[in-house]
Structure formats: C-alpha cells, structure tokens
Chain A
Amino acid sequence: MADSILTAENLSISFGGVNALVDVNVAIARGEIRCLVGENGSGKSTFVKIASGVYHPSRGTVQVGGKLLSPGDPRAAIDAGIQVVFQDLALFDQLSVAENIAFSVLLNSKNAYVGRKRMRQLAADVLEIMEVELPLDDPVSTLSMANKQLVAIARALCMDAQLIFMDEPTAALTKKEVNRLLEVVLGLRDRGISIVFISHKLDEVFRIADTITIFRDGRKVGDFEAAELTQAKLTYYMTGREVEYPAYKREPREADEVPLLEVRGLADRLHYRDVSFSVRPGDVLGLTGLLGAGRTEVALTLFGLNQAVRGEILLDGKPARIASPQQAVASGIALVSEDRKTEGLFMEQSVGHNISSTRLDTLLNKLRFLDLRAERELASRMVQAMGVNNKDIDILVGKLSGGNAQKVVIGKWIATEPRLLILDSPTVGIDVGSKAEIYESIQRLARAGMGIILISDEPEEIAANCNRVIVMYEGAIVATVSQAERETPDFVERLARMISEPTSQLAAPIQEGVPQA
C-alpha cells in the first residue's frame, strides 16, 4: 500500500443507535478510479463524510499520503488534497463561473486583490485540463445541472486535489451528459488524480471503475477488480441473500374496471408532458427514471402543488380538479415527499404533533377545541402500526434516526386513511433495517386495497415492491411495464438499462406513451 493516497482503518460511526458504519477499511491508490456501490443506507455516503472530515468517527483513523488526518476537520482534509463534489454542489449562484472555480484558490493565496485576468486564467486553465468549455463570465445560476457539476469539479481541481469524491454526480444527468462527465473523470485519472465515484447506476460503474468497493448494511463487503465482477454478481453482493426482499404480487380484485386514479395526457408548464397511467386499488405503481425526469413533478401535480396545464385527472372514473394540497387530502391522496427534512417533518416538534398535523380537523371535541387525548391515542396507534423504534410520542422527531423519522412521515399520512399514497424516494438516506420495514408496510397497505405510487431510482426497490412500472425520461413516459413483464427473471437488469439508457427505449416496439420529439 505504499502508493495509496488514502487509507481508512476500522472506521465506525453510529447515529441514533443505528450503526451507520462498522469497522470499515478502505485503501485508495493514486490515480485510480474507485467506485463505491451499495443500496440506500448501506453507508457509502457516511464513509465519504468521514474521509472528508465532515463527520467525526467514533472509532478508526484516516491517513492521507501516510499522514494521519485529524478527524472531523474539513479544513485539514482540504489541505491534504481531498475534495468532495457533494450532490448539492455548494456553488455560489450569483457569482460567475470563473469566480466559482477560482474562489478557493484565490481565497488561500496571499494576494488580496482579485485580478479579473488572473481569475479567468486560473479557471480557463483548469477547464482546459478537463477539456470542456464553459462561459467564464456568466453567473452560475444560468448553467444547466450538468455544467454546474463540471464547475464544481473544476473548482476541486483548481485546489490541487489529489483525491476527489463525487457523490452521485450523474443522478440528474442525461446519457449524453453522463458520457461527457465520465470522459472528464477518465481524463483526470490519466493525470494521476484519484477519483472516488459513488453511483448506483451499475453500467456507469462498470465503464469507469478500476476497483469497486461494495457496501452493505454499514459494512464493507469487499473490494473487487472491475474485470472480475459481473452485474449479476455485483447486485448479489449489494443486496445479499439475507436481505432479499419479498416481491409484491397483486391479486386480482372485483371492481377492477374503474381504476382509483387515472391520468390522461397530463402536462404541466415546464417539467413533463403527455403522461398517462392508472392506479387500481392494490396496485403499487413504480414511477422511475433519472433525477429530473419529471417523476417528482407528476407527484406534486397529483398533490395539488404543481398545476397541470393539459390533460385530465380522474378519481374513481370522475374528472377531478386538484388545485391545492387541501383538495388532494380531501380526495384521499397523500404524498410522502422526497425531502423528508424540509417537506415532511417538524424536526423540533414531538412525534405526536407531527403525526396529528394532518388530522387536526378531526381531532376536535364538542367545543371545537383540540381533543388532546384523542390526539395522543392516534399518535400512539400510528407509532405502533409503523414500528417506530421509540414508542414515546413526546420525543422530538429530530432525535430519531432517519429511518424512524421516515416512518413518522408515513404514519402521519396513513393517519388520514388515504386511498392513494404517493411515496417519493422513501428510502433515501435510511438504514437497511428500516428500509425492509418500510417495504413491508408498503406491501401490507397495498394488499389492504390502497393504491400506491412508488417513486424511486433504485431498480431493486422498484422490482421488489411494484407490480407495474413506468419509466420517465425528460418529462415523458418512455416505457410502461405490465405485471406479466415485471415477473420475468432478468427484470432488474432490464429496468436498470431502461432507466440509464432511456433513449434506446424510444426505438423499442409496442411502447405506450411514446413522447413527442
């Protein structure tokens, strides 16, 4: 390990009683591309945060270039040549491209004067190394997501990075943009820079990885030469036999003719168009595609937060207008949104108050005051039903782990007894144990006759829980998968391909909802 740039030994950390990382050892060589793969909650992002000094591990050490890194100190990591391109990028929207790229370097130089020329030169040099062209003087806010990504990488390079972590950099990119990004990454490796690439798109992983490190359930499964792995083997290591999720299968019901929800030719102003699908009682409809494909936006429309400009929404076969979340809730629609912390939870309020927040209108006594006893009963019931580990309903939600907090969010919506439950990326950022319990809840609710729309970009998650699947790309449906098709053996691999190579679907025969050009 003489030429290793980063060596992590015995890293462990736990949050809220859940072990997020257990005894992890990773060594990364100079000039290699290392891919970290694993399901949501397997611990890969936690590892990145420890290695970059954001988290302080409860045990273990990180060495960079043979020197011990002081734990929990981002500055020290930066000085040691470690850069992280986080998913949120952390760029300054109002500053220009050149300023964003050169910012850190100029900040650390002794010269307080910002020469426009020098700044542009610095930025131009780095972009040349990356072999990309960007408008140097435009504010970053005007760039596309893919170009912002490149600006963030350029900034890291500009800081003389020896090792760059990239956390799901391709999540929001199209195939073409992904190709461009991967070219850049390969180019950097040729210059001796190490890249740690986190992605759950396996085709990308196989294209660029020298070594693949697999995480599962907070532990490292192992390091593998990319050449010695196949997709099937990788998937096997990622999920593991013991966490094989039982696949959901919908039993036929009477009254199947009229679906619970039917959407015909729906389009909003900016994000999607010509979307048609239906959900029957007991359906778990998977809605998948790249980040930004329009999945979340469709969900927001069904919940009254994004007005459609064309098309129809039918509930029980009757046209419905959903202009606000109030109307959605009144129609029996519930949305567990993507961003749990900002859209789902009141972190500094008790579990009880969080759960009852959707039901206040029904928790009234004769004098129209809140019936506090009924409120507590409801909250206790939901906490039990969802299997939140801490049964104390007076505890603040912020004190729960991510997985248990998510159960509270789902619980607050189950409390409204919805007929249609939309779950947007419900297992992002939660531990594997809670994940299995959430899958169980989803399937139980569906069996009881609830219609469910599950939005996710993990093919395994979709395959395990959905009986029908829709794949979206750039605002349009590119594939619709029936229950029969979904039960074919190599479905997960095919679905992964449908998501990452949506354009190939366009040529495929007999597809419903082919998008307009």
Chain B
Amino acid sequence: MNSPFRALFGRRSTQVERYLGVLIVIYSAVVGFQNPRFLSLETVFDIVHEGAPTMILAIGVLLVLVSGGIDVSFPAVAICSAYVSIKLMWVFGLDALWFMAPVSIAIGLLLGLVNALLIHFLKLPTLIVTLGTMSVYRGFMAVTLGTSQYPVATMPKSLAEFGLANIVSVDGEGSSYGLSVFFPIVVALFAVTWFILYHTMLGRAVFAMGSDEEAASRVGVNLLRTRLFVYGYTGALAGMAGLMYFAAMQNVDPVALQGFELMVIAAVVIGGAKLTGGEGTILGTFLGVLLFQLFQSTLVQLGLASTWASFFFGSVLLFSLAMIYYRQRKADQRNLVFRIG
C-alpha cells in the first residue's frame, strides 16, 4: 500500500489516527452544515491562535507518556515560568520579548529538571510526585510574588503585541484576520520534537525506557539522563507555552490553567499515547488536541452553549478509551496474556 499518508510520514497511519481523522471530518461537516461560516480560513486561523499553547503543552505530555510517566505539573510550570519571567523583567525595567522568552523557557527547564530528579530518586508513581511539585510551584510563586492579575492595559506591551501579531493578514468583509505568529512556532516545535524522538539516540532511548525500563537499563540506557531530558524538555516547552497563553488571552493571570493538566493529558491519550509507555505519535497528539479545541470553540456554532464542551469531550474520551482498551483486552484474552489491573 503506497498511500499518500505513507509517502508523507514514512509509516502507516495508526488506527487511532484514522479514527480521530474521521471523527474530526464528520464533526466539521456537521458544524459546517449548521453554520457555513464555520468552513472558512478565519475559523482555521482562530483555532491556530487559541490552540497553540495547548498544542505545545501537549507535545510535552506526549513525551512524558512515551517515556512511561505522567506529568500533571506542566500548567503550573507554564504559569510560574511566564509570571516569574515577567516580574523579573520589570525588576530590570524592561519590556521585551527577547528577555521574557529565554528566561521563561529557562525557568521551565529548571522546574522540569527538578521533577525529573524527584521522579528518578523517589521511584514512585510520577502522577503523585508531579502532583506534589505542582502544588509547590504554584504555592511558592503565589506566596512570594502574590497573585496580582495584569490585564491588557498593564501587561507588558511586547507580550500583548506578540499575542496579536500575524504573519499573514487577510482583509475580510468588515473585519480583518490573520495567521498568528504562533503558527510557525508550533510547527517548528513539532518538527524539532519529531526529529529528536525519531532521529536521535536520546529520542530512541525515551521510547526504549517507556517500552521496558528494565531492558533499557540492561542495554545501557542512562535512565537518569533520559528522564532529565524528558521532563526538562517538557518544562521548557511549558515555559514557552505559558507566555503564549498570557499573550493569547491578553491577560496575565497567575492562577490560570488550574485543572487544565487533565484536559491536555486527555487530549494526548485520545491521540493514542499509552500510559504504559513506548507508544504515541505526534500526529495523533495533534489530532487529539485539535478535537479538544474544536469542542472548546465551535459548539456555539452548533447552537449549543459552551457549557457542553466538557460533556462532549468527556464522552468522546470515555468512548475512545473503552474502544482502545477493550480491543486490547480481547487480544489479551486470545493470547493468554494476563495483566495487572
């Protein structure tokens, strides 16, 4: 089979990817039927703009899941790094993205490394460890820096402009819209992550560790170093995503994104990443987040209040999970594989 998909990605599509693709097409068709304005470039651009921070966070989550762990601290890391970088910049009396971005990424990296060290040495469920660090990061920041919000009037100008900047602008009837600068950033990060995961030893080690930790260590994978990379990279991505989130919202809110971690993890899991590690694709992650974002921003166009978003997303999530794991259960029964749980 030489499908266009294979030509583009160099592999066969996974079942989950096909399923999600079909789901998204059907959903878009339904919404488009109800509201023809939906099927427009503007909608696409909107979704790119709104969904970009989530996409970047999701890349990190994918990496962690592939490595066999789970991380719930990344929204806390995102908010903390971005907020601290802004506060720090004001100390120097600056207002510049070139300061905020590297600092925020560096702080994210640092917090991620802390996660990695704790996970490696405590040898406990990563969920519980990162639940602890999540609270420590958020709590510590709030206690030391306060929780003042900076709406668009008082937030750094450079950040507000970053949120509105477009690389392409289109003048429509009455309003103009454009493709956000977030787009190339997300594309670049997808490409870099893809390259690392599939074309470097580090990436292969991440898969190996997630697939069978004991075997990986037996053939000489340095588990500590691999974990430092996984959680550090995730933290750095979160640092970037935090700034982009503030920019997109046009509001610096240090208590935002609480509870968001579960949504992003859910999106990545829908995309086919397994909690048992070693499995997950970047395309699947992209589709999972896209689906989530569609529910978030387009239910209104179906004539439903936005309060239905969680209901729909939760239902799709449960259905997908049941499908994925029931299939595995049947295969296990056939092959006489017995699993814990």
Contacts and interface: CB of A to CB of B under 8 A. Distances in A.
Task: Please determine if A and B sit in direct contact within the complex, based on CB atoms under 8 angstroms apart.
Answer: yes
A269 B211 contact: no
Interface residues of B, number: 25
Nearest to B214: A90
B207 interface: yes
A103 B219 contact: yes
B278 interface: yes
B336 A155 contact: no
Given A94-B279, A107-B205, A78 B220 contact: yes
A114 interface: yes
Contact of A113 (B199, B205, B207, B216): B199
Given A271-B336, A305-B336, A94 B200 contact: no
A114 B200 contact: yes
A75 B200 CA distance: 22
A90 B220 contact: no
A231 interface: no
A297 B220 contact: no
B323 interface: no
A90 B204 contact: no
Contact of B336 (A91, A104, A300): A300
A92 B211 contact: yes
Given A103-B219, A306-B336, A93 B199 contact: no
Nearest to B203: A114
Interface string B144-176: 000000000000000000000000000000000
Contact of B220 (A93, A104, A343): A104
A95 B209 CA distance: 11
B218 A343 contact: no
B336 A297 contact: yes
Contacts of B207: 92, 94-95
B203 to A, nearest CB: 8
Interface in B312-341: 334-336, 338
B211 A107 contact: no
A104 B205 CA distance: 10
Contacts of A155: 219
A114 B202 CA distance: 9
B282 interface: no
Interface in B194-210: 198-205, 207-208
Contact of B208 (A78, A92, A108, A305): A92
A103 B208 contact: yes
A270 B219 contact: no
A306 B338 CA distance: 11
A155 B218 CA distance: 12
B46 interface: no
Nearest to A99: B204
A104 B334 contact: no
B12 to A, nearest CB: 11
A332 to B, nearest CB: 23
Contacts of B253: none
Contacts of A99: 204
Interface string A324-343: 00000000000000000011
A436 to B, nearest CB: 31
Given A112-B200, A112-B201, A297-B336, A92 B220 contact: no
B192 to A, nearest CB: 14
Contact of A114 (B201, B208, B219, B335): B201
Contacts of A78: 220
B212 interface: yes
B201 A107 contact: yes
B221 interface: yes
A439 to B, nearest CB: 28
A114 B336 contact: no
B215 interface: yes
A48 to B, nearest CB: 13
B47 to A, nearest CB: 31
Nearest to B277: A94
Contacts of B338: 305, 342-343
A92 B199 contact: no
19 contacts: A75-B220, A90-B212, A90-B215, A92-B208, A92-B278, A93-B212, A94-B278, A94-B279, A99-B204, A103-B219, A107-B219, A107-B220, A107-B221, A114-B198, A116-B199, A155-B219, A269-B334, A300-B336, A343-B338
Interface of A: 74-75, 78, 90-95, 99, 103-104, 106-109, 112-114, 116, 155, 269-271, 297, 300, 305-306, 342-343
